[in-house]
Amino acid sequence: MTAEKADAPNEQAVPRVPGPSAIDITPDNDGGVLKEIIKEGSGFDTPASGSKVSVHYVGTLTDGTKFDSSRDRGKPFEFNLGKGSVIKAWDLGVATMKRGEVAVFHCKPEYAYGASGSPPTIPPNATLVFEVEVIDWTGEDLSIKKDGGITRYQINKGEGNITPNDGAMVEVKLIGKYDGRVFEEREVTFHLGEGSEYGICEGLERALEKFKKGEKSRIVIKSKYAFKAEGKSEFNIPPNADIEYEVEMKNFEKAKESWSLDSDEKLEQARLFKEKGTNYFKAEKYNLAIKMYKKVASFTEFDTGFENENEKERKSLLLSSHLNLALCYLKLSENVEARDHCDKALEIEPKSEKGLFRRGQANLGMGEPERAKIDFEAVLQLEPNNKAAASHIIICNKKIKEQRGREKKIYANMFEKFAQRDREKEEEWRRNQPDVMKTLGEWGKDERDREMTDFERENPNILMLDSTGDEFKNM
């Protein structure tokens, strides 16, 4: 909705005043927005905050002067409800409407364009009248990529504006449905970010990050954010199935942020997350372990406020977090990330055997045996009896030999192709050269005009010089 002047000329202006059926829909009942239903909508649903709503509207002043109309433009207007992208009256009014409903809203200045108006079409302190038709709406897209994979339809918006952060302890009540059938109903308490350990799918956990305390919403989750291609046999859910949850955020307690802690508290949190990460690693839950080790790094990456023994422990925890992250990524065959964390570990401790060895493994996994060999040789310099490093050098040498053999064949084939191309070009050049003897004859034209000498008759195969003795006439 804009304050642009409508494209079509105004019909005869008819003053607009609220009718007897107009009701006050403002939270404080201050008369700022009065609603009259012109046509009832269908169903029971109304759009929730965050929904993308499609409407047609006609905006007029109270004297009937039209200043804007989507109908004149022939295109519905779309906006995100409850996000402040339109005037307050619209966020309030459209939230009360059903699909297909047509209503008229009488909007006082404080719920419209206020004391300044919107020149040149809307004067200061103007009361506005909007006729609005709700065509349709979709829920709020909560997916990071905005691909429609996680959609929220609010039932109860909850309290305040605070939402849980990563690591927050959340207490939720949930009802999961597939194809209209309830497949689970329970209450669960867990740390946000560790939901998979409690059977919480990716899409649901992502949605909970946006919930307020007391909020109740319906979450529609596409298969790639739910149980993916594997499905969930426990719940009799087939592969690639879309599901939905009705979720209530009963309570949550935000996790402590690093900036709010002193050095002792940061170390305490880092120790706790390191222990959690190690437990997840032992259980081969590498993605969860990665989350925990990243937490360790977040509490120890900056040295501000650490002194003496605390500083030593901070560096030790930070070093171990990067080494452990590298190991987790190696387990997942994510070699680029593994090498990055090895580099960070080696910035802290250049002679870290684990850092060098794991970087060598990452380089080997990325098909770079020469770089890997350098790392494994560095390990042997620090620990000559390291059998693992020695065996990996043998592997590197084999890979390097194979690689060079392949390169040799590639270059040999390349050079042979170039040589063959040169031979073909030379042969083509020769074919295109004129046959001098056939073209010009045995003698030049002026030589043929004179009579042959006795010598020429006796020696027909000998070419004769011209009169100057400088060149052959027939060349």
Active site (catalytic) residues: 57, 67-68, 87, 113, 130
Whole-Å CA distances, 81 to 75, 103, 129, 350:
18, 17, 19, 54
CB-CB contact of 11 with 19 (8 Å): no
Element spanning 221, H or E: strand 216-221
> DSSP code of 346?
H
Cβ atoms within 10 Å of 112's Cβ, excluding its own:
25
Q: How many Cα neighbours within 13 Å face the side chain of 178?
A: 19
Structure tokens at 230: 């594997």
Q: Give the DSSP letter of residue 464.
A: P
Nearest partner of 208 among 257, 178, 245, judged by Cα:
245
The 10 Å CB-count burial string (b at 16+, else e) for 312-350 is ebbeebbbbbbbbbbbbbbeeebbebbbbbbebbbeebe
Chain centroid, CA 283 distance in Å:
29
* Residue where the block lists tokens 């046999």: 233
* φ/ψ bin of 101: left (φ > 0), alpha (ψ from -120 to 50), beta (otherwise): beta
Closest CA to 198 of 184, 180, 217: 184
